[in-house]
Structure 1
Amino acid sequence: MSKKSTGMNEKDHSMHTGHEMKGMNHTEHDKSSMEHSMHEGHDSSNMDHSMHEGHDMGGMDHSMHMGNFKQKFWLSLILAIPIIVLSPMMGMELPFQFSFPGSNWVVLVLAIILFVYGGQPFLSGAKMELKMKSPAMMTLIAMGISVAFFYSLYSFIANTFFHAHVMDFFWELATLIVIMLLGHWIEMNAVMNASDALQKLAELLPDEVTRVKADGTEEKVSLQAVHENDHLIVRAGDKMPTDGLIEKGTSIVDESAVTGESRGVVKKVGDRVIGGSVNGEGTMTILVTGTGESGYLAQVMDMVRKAQADKSKLEALSDKVAKWLFYVALFAGILAFVAWLFVSDLPSALERMVTVFIIACPHALGLAIPLVVARSTSIAAKNGLLLKNRNALENAHDLDMVLLDKTGTLTQGSFAVTGVETFVTALDKKTVLQYIGALENSANHPIATGIMNYMKEQKITPFKAENEKNIAGVGLKGQVEGQEVKIVNAKALKDLGIEVDQASIAHYQEQGNTISYLLIKDQLVGLIALGDQIKAEAKEFITALTARGIEPVMLTGDNEEAAANVAAYLGIKQYYASLMPDDKEKIVAQLVNKGKRVAMVGDGINDAPSLARATIGIAIGAGTDVAIDSADVVLTNSNPLDILHFIDLAKQTRIKMVQNLWWGAGYNIVAIPLAAGVLAPWGIILNPAVGAALMSLSTIIVALNAMTLKIKK
């Protein structure tokens, strides 16, 4: 077994900084500037964060929300219908078309409005792509609609004022803009809008805190007013407002969402606490050691932002195809213009070039991916999957590894009673619990809390205990029902020479449970096991994952012993224990940088950076909002078996995408050379009307092919 434990002290928490958080003080910024800087680095609130910067949903402007696409589509359609009815399709009049005196002016006015209004997102997207020196889908569409518009404008002037007979492309302009807007609307409607993970991180901290003044009195202040070395009071159930050191009090702190440690952590004077963790039943005073950029959550936030920025460099398959098609069309169009200028005249050369440019921008290419995404998203939702990133299925078709957080992903995520056993016929399990509860009732540690919560749920009242004492390194003892009762650990049991039936504890040991033994008059009478219970589907999932040739790796903030037991039970050969968020993110980054296709599955705040960094981030639906918002896919049923459905769907989706791209752009292999006139010496030139018919046919095929997508369970 390959195993590695990566510990980390507070100094190791130092990560790149650069973003303040809501509710955290920083001497040079007020709250509004903090929130502004937070959003500066993260633009995924309404857009897909895995696209190019400035290229969301295929190069759209960041302000283009789904509602804008819907509005633009319907208004553009209203403008396009008269153009489609009043202007010919590449010189060929369709049966439903007609004209009347002055109809050409109506078409011109509507086309200008449509080009400026409906074409705006594509022109803006193309500008950003060219600025980034990476022409793709938006540049190809912008070239098509710009050439169609300006050549048609030239045609209008020539035909209206000089009585020439130059073919226009108003029909192509209208249909191209409307279909491309429809494609983006379908795609955005199919994929959930991602919420702002960084905003959710900021909201983990309270807005107001209790600060101790110099004279010892208390005052309520906003978190922005807190500075390092201030003294804050944190009462039972409150969230830790900042990182700090405990000066007074003891408590059990729940750090599960922040660090991944499933058990409550006992904290006493001198111990460190992390902002965002939840205080238990005790009240404590802490000395503030970290606010603003130096705070733990601020560092996690910065890691999420940077991971998402790096991940956004991934290029969609359709963009790769569009990039090559743009270069091919540009080269072929210019070459055709030069060649026809030599063998014919300027109008003929111009018409050939324009025809090449417009044919190279097929309507089907704009629908090829959105239709598959819409279909696959619908199938995913029926299988307990919500796709938040349109590229999720595309990037997950050939995974090498699935990295799994333990707590909440493979396990239930709560430290609770998993079993009670009795070894004497005179006592039933309820009575065993009553004896155990008598001693644990006044104890202040995670095991006692778990036991008492369980007894409350079962409505079991513990016996009364007297003379309770803590036995260091062993457990508890006291007088219960007139008898000496002890609760001890396995080591103490062995020291007393008491043997326990291994068959009765094997199951608990396999799952990494903590076992406490009940002794009455030094006789073993029962036991209670507590732990983070492994999900029933986890073992089947790991087996199926391995059978698919995908390596499972467990990453956990939990301790080495618990991690080893869970890994052994599930059959996971490689695992990493005692990890902090940056440890997980570094492991994921190293694998991704080596060219590995990695899926990360998690549910906590500590998983957010690695979810954002991985090729595919998969969040458990029952997890924190931060994890969900950092992920590409959400398992709504929190069932790890749904990951298998996702992997299978990804394979089928990739196949359909490739097929659709061939249908959507593949005909250009024939159409572009013919439109350029390479067979003109033999009398063969692609008629623009034939080119339009081919485009329509490929669009129909693309739509039908997308509808055949399905997965077998």
Structure 2
Amino acid sequence: MEEMNSSINDHGQMSSMDHSMHMSNFKQKFWFSLILAVPILFISPMMGVDLPFQFTFKGSDWLVLILASILFLYGGEPFLKGAKSELKQKSPAMMTLIAMGISVSYFYSVYAFIMNQLNPQNHVMDFFWELATLIVIMLLGHWIEMNAISNASDALQKMAELLPDKVKRLNNDGSEEEVPLQEIKQNDHLVVRSGDKIPADGIIINGNTSVDESMVTGESKAVTKNEKDKVIGGSVNGSGTIEISVTGTGKTGYLSKVMDMVKKAQTEKSKLEYLSDRVAKWLFYIALGAGLSAFIVWLIIDHDLSIAFERMVTVFIIACPHALGLAIPLVVARSTSIAAKHGLLLKNRNALEQANDMQYIMLDKTGTLTEGKFTVTGIEMITNKITQKEALKVIGALENDANHPLAIGIMNYLKEEAISPYKVENLQNISGIGLIGTVNGQISKIVNEKEVDRLTISFDRSLKQRYQKQGNTLSYLIIDDQLIAMIALGDVVKPEAKQFISDIKAQGLIPIMLTGDNKVAAESVADYLGINEFHGGLLPEDKEKIIQAYVSEGKKVMMVGDGINDAPSLVRATIGVAIGAGTDVAIDSADVVLTDSDPKDIIRFLDLSKQTRHKMIQNLWWGAGYNIIAIPLAAGVLAPWGILLNPAIGAILMSLSTVIVAANAMTLRVHN
């Protein structure tokens, strides 16, 4: 157990620290690099052209060299490292293109500086201005993007927090002692009282109860547990006190197995290449090919190494992705801002690009399509000796101090109906049966159906059929050994869920319901909502396997859920969407969070994704499209006709495209 918590803590700290360190690292590097870049921009010419605000003084070229060297090594470090990683994977992309641009700019400029020192009359153009602007703009782009996407804390850490820190262990002499969870071993006997979290997987050796497993398995209905039944660590004990023999701790426990599934899915989930990376990859190959070709051709034509070298370098500098580096981050920043205003928290940029390709939406039932909490769905009076309101007052008296899910549902209902419960005396908890006490001088009980059958009390059994079909839990009020009323509690379908399913179908997507709830309740909800395909009684590994089967066939799957049991599936799916009112574990495992817990926001997300994709493509054309003309001209393909791109014109084109992509990103809108 200690080993599990230790590894979880290490993982959680590393995960959250890794993201925050990257974001603060880019922020710090940007500001320091900007300070270094400002003097360079005022002193060094832009591609050989002196701008109106620039000036020089004795030794200014040395100052530029020193500042540019620090800037290249410090500000360029993440791009050089990123390029090394991309080349190691044989997949050059944005980092490689940036690294090529800043490296060529720097080393050629150092060469130009040396040549100018040796022969001041024959001035060689340097690219220190381009080096400074490229590094600063790229750092800004990465910082904007990382700042836009929310910081995802660690789902595994949240799972560990589901278990209590202290547990009550039974000694051989029958006494109890409170010990840290880490000290628990297999076969230890633990006492779990009403309302307590079950600290470990185990088998009940004494007592009966009902257990709320909704957060762990997705079963919305309280599960009755008797002796020899298994219980799961992390679930919540209901009405009875039980003793359990521990069967699973640490890496052998149920929660630990769910964590392993999450970690495995995180590792195996394919990270699709960003659209900008694909463009950058092709631009890298084109620039490299064009630059080398220009060098060879010019060397053959002019037999002048310096001219050939300058043409090659000019091609590489022209291809530097100033605008490309901002094209996507600015759209992402705009998208996340719009999303937040519409109840969407975007945690993974991939989701914005992938949502356009979705084919299936897998939906958890409990908490996603339903409210995820017990609500009174009906009250049936068996006798007319008292009114329904009086019966509810008696039930409220018995349940007022209980903290299990059924009691909470009943008391919430009484509060909504403005019904004040009676007072109760001599209240007792009958393990595995219910509650008994004296209300208004009468012996009153709220019990389960098992107790009604034991007492052989007859009543019209057809009254309960409708509720049972919906998967409701039934409780019975008995006063002075006479059955008075039946109260049904169940998980209610969200009012907006039916329209949501209709909207999904209208978009050509196929909804599939996956739930840990029993198949009877699942079928009832699916029929009501118009979902043709559903799977009930699923464990977390079952949900994940279903999604993995679809994904492995190349199908694009969105998973929507809110519970711990959904975490592996949310990670495994192409896009994981968590309901904001769900567990922290689900939220931390997802790519998108619905902060308003409204499934209809998924439709809004799909629309935003579509608009975002359009803007990304437009910006990529503006950010890289000018290279279609600029690179060949820089290489000198029209030189025989006297047309050769002036490097200054290339710089102006780069600046203009940067302004255009920024303006275009701000025009992003989404339909309400």
TM-score (norm 2): 0.89
Unaligned stretches of 5+ in structure 1? 1-23, 48-62
The letter for the 1-side match of 2:72 is F
Q: Which residue of 2 aligns with 1:330?
A: 288
- The answer to whether the aligner puts 1:240 opposite 2:184 as a matched pair is no
User: Is the partner of 2:168 in helix, strand or coil?
Assistant: strand
- The answer to whether the aligner puts 1:461 opposite 2:456 as a matched pair is no
- The answer to whether the aligner puts 1:255 opposite 2:174 as a matched pair is no
- The answer to whether the aligner puts 1:632 opposite 2:591 as a matched pair is yes
- The answer to whether the aligner puts 1:68 opposite 2:25 as a matched pair is yes
- The answer to whether the aligner puts 1:529 opposite 2:488 as a matched pair is yes
Q: Which residue of 2 aligns with 1:92?
A: 49
Specify whether residues 563 and 353 from structure 1 end up closer, same or farther in structure 2 by C-alpha distance, changes over 3 A only: same
Specify whether residues 72 and 483 from structure 1 end up closer, same or farther in structure 2 by C-alpha distance, changes over 3 A only: closer
* Contact preservation (8 Å) 1:488, 1:518: no
Distance 1:355 1:660 in 2: 23
Q: Which residue of 2 aligns with 1:374?
A: 333
Q: Which residue of 2 aligns with 1:617?
A: 576
1:7-63 Cα shifts (integer Å, max 9, x gaps):
xxxxxxxxxxxxxxxxx245xx9x645643x359x746553xxxxxxxxxxxxxxx8
1:647-670 Cα shifts (integer Å, max 9, x gaps):
110111111111111111111122
* Contact preservation (8 Å) 1:394, 1:654: yes
Q: Which residue of 2 aligns with 1:313?
A: 271
Distance 2:371 2:394 in 1: 27
Percent identical among aligned pairs is: 65
- The answer to whether the aligner puts 1:681 opposite 2:667 as a matched pair is no
Q: Which residue of 2 aligns with 1:230?
A: 188
1:616-639 Cα shifts (integer Å, max 9, x gaps):
111111111111100111111111
Distance 1:518 1:200 in 2: 39
Distance 1:189 1:551 in 2: 34
Distance 1:198 1:606 in 2: 12
Q: How does 1:514-553 map to 2 (within 5 A)?
A: 514=473, 528-553=487-512
Distance 2:424 2:159 in 1: 44
Specify whether residues 637 and 420 from structure 1 end up closer, same or farther in structure 2 by C-alpha distance, changes over 3 A only: same
1:56-101 Cα shifts (integer Å, max 9, x gaps):
xxxxxxx842222222111111110110111111111111111112
Q: Which residue of 1 aligns with 2:38?
A: 81
Q: Which residue of 2 aligns with 1:568?
A: 527
Q: Which residue of 2 aligns with 1:133?
A: 90
- The answer to whether the aligner puts 1:199 opposite 2:168 as a matched pair is no
Aligned residues: 662
The letter for the 1-side match of 2:33 is S
1:263-313 Cα shifts (integer Å, max 9, x gaps):
222222211111111223433222221122211111111111121222253
User: Is the partner of 1:396 in helix, strand or coil?
Assistant: helix
* Contact preservation (8 Å) 1:69, 1:181: yes
Distance 1:373 1:357 in 2: 27
Distance 2:159 2:444 in 1: 50
Q: Which residue of 2 aligns with 1:278?
A: 236
Specify whether residues 298 and 509 from structure 1 end up closer, same or farther in structure 2 by C-alpha distance, changes over 3 A only: closer
The letter for the 2-side match of 1:87 is S
Specify whether residues 463 and 77 from structure 1 end up closer, same or farther in structure 2 by C-alpha distance, changes over 3 A only: closer
Q: Which residue of 2 aligns with 1:178?
A: 136
User: Is the partner of 2:64 in helix, strand or coil?
Assistant: helix
C-alpha displacement of 1:599:
1.1
* Contact preservation (8 Å) 1:620, 1:628: yes
The letter for the 2-side match of 1:242 is A
Distance 2:484 2:76 in 1: 79
The letter for the 2-side match of 1:412 is E
Distance 2:63 2:639 in 1: 36
Specify whether residues 78 and 700 from structure 1 end up closer, same or farther in structure 2 by C-alpha distance, changes over 3 A only: same
Identify which range, 389-398 or 621-630, moves more after superposition.
Answer: 389-398
Distance 1:293 1:488 in 2: 36
Q: Which residue of 1 aligns with 2:61?
A: 104
1:121-146 Cα shifts (integer Å, max 9, x gaps):
11111111122222111111011001
Specify whether residues 500 and 307 from structure 1 end up closer, same or farther in structure 2 by C-alpha distance, changes over 3 A only: closer
Identify which range, 299-308 or 676-685, moves more after superposition.
Answer: 676-685
* Contact preservation (8 Å) 2:380, 2:463: no
C-alpha displacement of 1:233:
2.6
Q: Which residue of 1 aligns with 2:653?
A: 694
User: Is the partner of 1:586 in helix, strand or coil?
Assistant: helix
Quick one: which of 269, 294, 301 aligns to 2:227? 269
1:501-557 Cα shifts (integer Å, max 9, x gaps):
99xx97x68865456688999999865332111111111111111111111111110
* Contact preservation (8 Å) 1:265, 1:446: no
Specify whether residues 34 and 572 from structure 1 end up closer, same or farther in structure 2 by C-alpha distance, changes over 3 A only: closer
C-alpha displacement of 1:327:
1.5
* Contact preservation (8 Å) 1:45, 1:194: no
Identify which range, 174-183 or 441-450, moves more after superposition.
Answer: 441-450
Q: How does 1:279-678 map to 2 (within 5 A)?
A: 279-311=237-269, 313-344=271-302, 345-420=304-379, 428-434=387-393, 450-451=409-410, 454-455=413-414, 458-461=418-421, 498=460, 512-514=471-473, 528-678=487-637
C-alpha displacement of 1:359:
1.3
1:148-167 Cα shifts (integer Å, max 9, x gaps):
00000000000112333211
Q: Which residue of 2 aligns with 1:10?
A: none
Q: Which residue of 2 aligns with 1:58?
A: none
Q: Which residue of 2 aligns with 1:57?
A: none
Distance 2:18 2:367 in 1: 28
C-alpha displacement of 1:488:
9.5
Distance 1:372 1:443 in 2: 51
C-alpha displacement of 1:427:
5.7
* Contact preservation (8 Å) 1:45, 1:193: no
Specify whether residues 465 and 294 from structure 1 end up closer, same or farther in structure 2 by C-alpha distance, changes over 3 A only: same
Distance 1:236 1:435 in 2: 21
Unaligned stretches of 5+ in structure 2? none
Distance 1:180 1:444 in 2: 55
C-alpha displacement of 1:702:
0.6
C-alpha displacement of 1:244:
1.3
Quick one: which of 112, 127, 135 aligns to 1:155? 112
C-alpha displacement of 1:439:
8.9
Distance 2:87 2:469 in 1: 58
* Contact preservation (8 Å) 1:441, 1:452: yes
The letter for the 1-side match of 2:339 is A
Identify which range, 606-615 or 423-432, moves more after superposition.
Answer: 423-432
1:583-604 Cα shifts (integer Å, max 9, x gaps):
1111111111122221111111
Distance 1:419 1:598 in 2: 37
User: Is the partner of 1:286 in helix, strand or coil?
Assistant: strand
Specify whether residues 417 and 484 from structure 1 end up closer, same or farther in structure 2 by C-alpha distance, changes over 3 A only: closer
Specify whether residues 289 and 421 from structure 1 end up closer, same or farther in structure 2 by C-alpha distance, changes over 3 A only: closer
1:236-255 Cα shifts (integer Å, max 9, x gaps):
33322221112222222221
Specify whether residues 489 and 244 from structure 1 end up closer, same or farther in structure 2 by C-alpha distance, changes over 3 A only: closer
User: Is the partner of 1:187 in helix, strand or coil?
Assistant: helix
Specify whether residues 482 and 132 from structure 1 end up closer, same or farther in structure 2 by C-alpha distance, changes over 3 A only: closer
1:195-227 Cα shifts (integer Å, max 9, x gaps):
111111122222333333444443433333322
The letter for the 1-side match of 2:548 is A
C-alpha displacement of 1:700:
1.1
Identify which range, 440-449 or 398-407, moves more after superposition.
Answer: 440-449
TM-score (norm 1): 0.85
* Contact preservation (8 Å) 2:469, 2:520: no
